Amino acid sequence: GRVVQSNFHDYQMMRLAETPAIDIVLVPSGGFWGGVGEPSNIAMTPALTNAIFAATGKRIRSLPLKNHGFRTV
């Protein structure tokens, strides 16, 4: 591939609702299992930050959350 946009400032990013369905397939390799939880993390962060916004009105634009005054209890 190559870049086809002359400027990214007017490039319309795809939103999650506009993305095609994604099938995640874990293929057994016979090797040591590790790092198999990452596919589920893709939607967790936006869901959590949107829940924070719904509850507090504060929009989170960067991570980690502790930099915004949030912590686990």
In a domain, 36, yes or no: yes
Quote the pLDDT of residue 42: 75
Is the Cβ–Cβ distance between 43 and 50 less than 8 Å?
Answer: no
pLDDT digit string, tens, across residues 6-34: 777 777 777 878 878 878 777 777 777 77
In a domain, 1, yes or no: no
In a domain, 23, yes or no: no
pLDDT at 69 over 70: yes
Domain hosting 39: range is: 30-73
Is residue 57 very low, low, confident or very high in pLDDT (cuts 50, 70, 90)?
very high
Total number of domains in the chain: 1
Q: Which tops the pLDDT comparison, 37 or 23?
A: 23
